[in-house]
Amino acid sequence: MNYDYIIIGAGVIGSSTAYHLKRLNPNFNILIIENNHRAGFGNTAKSAALFRNLFSSKTSRKLAISSIKFYYTIAEKIKLHKSGYLWLFSEKQWRANESIIKNLDKENLEIDIYNQEEIQKYLKINFNSNDKFPDILNGIFCKNCGSLSAVALAEYYANSFIKLGGKIIFNKEIKSFKLSGEKVLYAPWDEIKINYLIDNTGEKYYSKNFVFATGAWTNTLLSSIGIASSVYPKKRQLFGLKIKDSSNIFNKKDENYPAIILPAGGVYIKPVLKNNTIIVGCADDLGQPYYLSDFNANPEYFNKAIKPVLSYYFPSLKNYELYLQWAGYYAYHWPDKNPVIENVSNITWVSGTSGSGIMKADAIGRITATKLLDYEYAELADKSKFKVSDLSLYERKVDLEKFII
């Protein structure tokens, strides 16, 4: 079979792209090849699966708002839980972001500014600073945010793609790509494209076009054929704490607590109180390398990078058991932390989701599909238009994302 498109990777981005491409042109023969046994079992499954519309960059907001709008229409299928987001700022952080915060369309985004008194209604928290950790001045509460099942979302797209006649092959890892002419050396005037892929069993896959929706693996794969993807993997770890008494953190008896972002070290909390659990993570920067290594979470990392922050802001939180831990990789596009959708020859790559690929997957899939069809503007789920080239590398037009965790 010579396909029109082969998409490598059935994460949330590859699955969304495949579905939207097939939806826009049902006549295309499209194949997804995935290393895992199910859609979304790469870094998609490793995510905290939180979604929010609160971003500093207009590009991020557009991608997230339209995607979230679509997710509400399939809420039950993807176990969407509207529990909110409470982003806490120190005085210094607040002042640094004041102009961005002032210009947020609070009504449309459904966000409220909380002072200490309002924060205290939710949280039993220490507002003061010490020599290590900053104070807490204000919070932004986003109502229209929450969590969902990231694997269910990837599978929703993968199944919708199959229903339209698309094909997925699981448990196959693409090991190499054969370029046109299969030469050892190429002259600058040679027309170079991928002719076919070879998987771990030696099977060959032919297609006119190849789409790398390979998340954190994108740079390793593409650099081998001379493409600098501009996407870099960074390890992220999450830890599940069984808490004996939620009133040590939360001031109301409620199972619907928002995700909390603390002002120190990028530490965040996803409450799953029906399981007496909080999931905690940390978005560190310098000191954490930009390359793929192992997928093991390290309890020492929890003890050194997360526990001190939790203990400081929640002094009553003492009785808990660390019972769950896992690690995955963000695919960062540095420095603007927005996705990259670029094309060279018959090769397109879509990655650089920078820790917010779940909440933006619908828009990213639509824009990638539109790029593959060579149209200038994509129509997003909220009917707004998005200029496809804005996410390219050559004609990139995005503003820096600062609200990254």
Ligand X SMILES: Cc1cc2nc3c(=O)[nH]c(=O)nc-3n(C[C@H](O)[C@H](O)[C@H](O)COP(=O)(O)OP(=O)(O)OC[C@H]3O[C@@H](n4cnc5c(N)ncnc54)[C@H](O)[C@@H]3O)c2cc1C
Q: Which residues bind ligand X (CB under 6 A)?
A: 8-14, 33-36, 41-44, 46-50, 173-174, 213-217, 221, 236, 238, 281, 328-330, 351, 353, 355-359
Picking from 275, 281, 282, the residue whose alpha carbon sits closest to that of residue 257 is 275
135 vs 199, beta carbon nearer ligand X:
199
The total number of residues shown for the chain amounts to 405
**Shortest distance (Å) from residue 325 CB to ligand X:** 11
Please check whether residue 119 is in contact with residue 136, taking contact to mean a CB–CB distance below 8 angstroms.
Answer: yes
Measured in whole angstroms, the distance separating CA 174 from the mean position of its chain's CA atoms is 23
94 vs 156, beta carbon nearer ligand X:
156
Q: Output helix, strand, coil percentages for the chain, rounded to the nearest 5.
A: 30, 30, 40
**Shortest distance (Å) from residue 131 CB to ligand X:** 29
**Shortest distance (Å) from residue 117 CB to ligand X:** 28
41 vs 210, beta carbon nearer ligand X:
41
Please check whether residue 36 is in contact with residue 11, taking contact to mean a CB–CB distance below 8 angstroms.
Answer: no
The DSSP letter of residue 305 is I
**Shortest distance (Å) from residue 215 CB to ligand X:** 3
Tokens 């870094």 found at: 43
217 vs 302, beta carbon nearer ligand X:
217
Please check whether residue 257 is in contact with residue 250, taking contact to mean a CB–CB distance below 8 angstroms.
Answer: yes
**Shortest distance (Å) from residue 146 CB to ligand X:** 10
Q: Which amino acid appears at position 189 of this protein?
A: W
**Shortest distance (Å) from residue 235 CB to ligand X:** 8
Coil, helix or strand at residue 160 = helix
Cα 373 to Cα 376: distance, rounded to the nearest angstrom: 9
137 vs 271, beta carbon nearer ligand X:
271
- Report the largest interatomic distance among the alpha carbons of the chain, rounded to a whole angstrom: 69
89 vs 332, beta carbon nearer ligand X:
332
